[in-house]
Structure 1
């Protein structure tokens, strides 16, 4: 190879590296820019009784936002009010009830007083019932989808005029387990549905200055369903099964399945909930919020890896995580990895 060719090759490599470096620097500068004058801006958050919604409401209240927190229970509403500033307002909201949604929207409209809504954070922590598909009935799917998908879509649609008026932003909080379908029920369906709804909404609303972000989070102690609740649902579903279906799974399968679900609550939970809070805060106050955020090691690596892995590989790993039904002829325990 001639010296001239070597020189051209070296120059090309340097140019590529310089271009990549410039793009990284540009992205870092762009990502660090913040919206000014946040004081007095209204943010509406769903599901604030406990967990991530509750923690975010308190966090943003301390930051000076005018927080409107929606709670499903009177107890949750009063407890949140008791440990927040006077500027934080609460409203009862049942996402499965259109009348309740309409009342909450009217409350937000009155509170914003013509200024529009700067932020909408949609969050539900409804996970049950999660079980093998042939244990379920159509009403079990409705109990999740009516709240975690259709309810969130309905309230988003009704708040869009206020969001467009303020050129605000929508932040949809979605469990990263929704990236990979491996358990029956409406839970994963609702998460996939919210991913699709968020993507279409982001493309359409950019013309009106409304920004849409998704925060995909892993397991966190403040946002995970109690293992006793999971066991209660599974026991109810198991007891109503026909003898024929119970025989195909076997009593040992039921015990091992509960054990696997209980282990997932204990083993994957991260104690640092601030990882999720910081993502949601950035999505609200950044001048150029990201399209997607990953919060938690399992969200960034485990679930994301499974979602992109070849189906033969992901299927094999998921089969290793759960016990096998008695009718399969496989050894029932066989749980090598507990999720």
Structure 2
């Protein structure tokens, strides 16, 4: 028979445990609300601020330029082609300026710095968005040559570093923002080639830049998009380049993969892009805009539900788990693999 003293003790323990759980829950709710409110604070004077964006011919850069232009920012958009610059100018207000920029050419970047410097004057450059990038060639590592890696690295990594270093004095003058576009492939190497290498490099460069520049009031943010429908994920371009890589391989290498592997790989790529790629690229540009307009910008932005709910969480799993998932997404060699 349970005594009154034991009942009282047990009841007291239950109340204490529920009280502790309630306190933890309330603290969590308070922290979430406080973070949400803090995250919503905006800087003032959009119409007094200049933002320079690379890669504005299409995709994320093009939409961001028009988006910020609509908010009143003085946008300077770097485009690779005359057509890209002309089309963007026609779709924006007279306030938006365009210039031709090749991020793999230091002289082109210097010319852009001179143009932007005249535009911003003593105020400096509030925002630098390193958006320009390319994806192909992608595919199995063994199918590549050194030049295939450097084509991507020169744009996606060396270009980002060169642009940042040359524009940094203008950003420093304004105590502004640097926004670098990485990828969930900067967390998980799903494919061979230079793309994943370049995006991992962008992550590392941005982290070191953020720590170095925090003393000068400059904030650095990294955008990590999932899969979106842009020129970077066009399956016709990817398929054509995969064909180029496969065709030039020695016969003994082709034999090691088996007669059906190339077709299986292409089908897998097409299926994955069709299923994974979201057409709503505003999910990415909204993250970029927040990084430029928030009083307290985030260090990293996962853009897209696939990034938030699948790829980024997967990147924290043990290696054997991520390997299992990634291997399940790729075609098997079906008994081949021996030379």
Shift of 1:169: 0.7
1:90 corresponds, among 87, 98, 103, to 98
In the superposition, the TM-score normalised over structure 1's length comes to: 0.92
Kindly indicate whether the alpha-carbon contact (under 8 Å) linking 1:248 and 1:326 is maintained by their aligned counterparts in 2. no
Aligned in 2, Cα 1:54/1:110: closer, same or farther, shift over 3 Å?
same
2:327 corresponds, among 292, 300, 319, to 319
Cα distance in 1 for residues equivalent to 2:174 and 2:60: 25
Structure-to-structure mapping, 1:153-232, within 5 angstroms: 153-222=161-230, 224-232=232-240
Cα distance in 2 for residues equivalent to 1:327 and 1:96: 43
Per-residue displacement from partner, 1:51-77 (whole Å, max 9, x unpaired)?
111111111111111001001111111
Q: In the alignment, what sits opposite 1:57?
A: 65
Kindly indicate whether the alpha-carbon contact (under 8 Å) linking 2:125 and 2:173 is maintained by their aligned counterparts in 1. yes
Cα distance in 2 for residues equivalent to 1:308 and 1:12: 30
Q: In the alignment, what sits opposite 1:283?
A: 291
Kindly indicate whether the alpha-carbon contact (under 8 Å) linking 1:74 and 1:92 is maintained by their aligned counterparts in 2. yes
Q: In the alignment, what sits opposite 1:260?
A: 268
Structure-to-structure mapping, 1:115-154, within 5 angstroms: 115-154=123-162
Cα distance in 1 for residues equivalent to 2:15 and 2:311: 45
Give the alignment's Cα RMSD to 1 decimal.
1.8
Cα distance in 1 for residues equivalent to 2:82 and 2:158: 23
Cα distance in 2 for residues equivalent to 1:147 and 1:207: 29
3-state SS of paired residue (2:332): coil
Kindly indicate whether the alpha-carbon contact (under 8 Å) linking 2:133 and 2:155 is maintained by their aligned counterparts in 1. no
Q: In the alignment, what sits opposite 1:336?
A: none
Cα distance in 2 for residues equivalent to 1:17 and 1:260: 44
Shift of 1:223: 5.3
Shift of 1:130: 0.4
Cα distance in 1 for residues equivalent to 2:112 and 2:263: 42
Cα distance in 1 for residues equivalent to 2:272 and 2:105: 32
In the superposition, the TM-score normalised over structure 2's length comes to: 0.92
Kindly indicate whether the alpha-carbon contact (under 8 Å) linking 1:136 and 1:237 is maintained by their aligned counterparts in 2. yes
Kindly indicate whether the alpha-carbon contact (under 8 Å) linking 1:48 and 1:76 is maintained by their aligned counterparts in 2. yes
Aligned in 2, Cα 1:25/1:252: closer, same or farther, shift over 3 Å?
same
Kindly indicate whether the alpha-carbon contact (under 8 Å) linking 1:48 and 1:69 is maintained by their aligned counterparts in 2. yes
Per-residue displacement from partner, 1:186-226 (whole Å, max 9, x unpaired)?
10001101111111111221111111111111122245421
Q: In the alignment, what sits opposite 1:270?
A: 278
Kindly indicate whether the alpha-carbon contact (under 8 Å) linking 1:122 and 1:171 is maintained by their aligned counterparts in 2. yes
Unaligned segments of structure 1, at least 5 residues: 331-339
Q: In the alignment, what sits opposite 2:6?
A: none
Aligned in 2, Cα 1:11/1:71: closer, same or farther, shift over 3 Å?
same
Structure-to-structure mapping, 1:19-58, within 5 angstroms: 19-58=27-66
Q: In the alignment, what sits opposite 2:75?
A: 67
Shift of 1:273: 2.0
Would you say 1:301 and 2:309 are equivalent positions? Answer: yes
Cα distance in 2 for residues equivalent to 1:20 and 1:258: 46
Shift of 1:10: 4.7
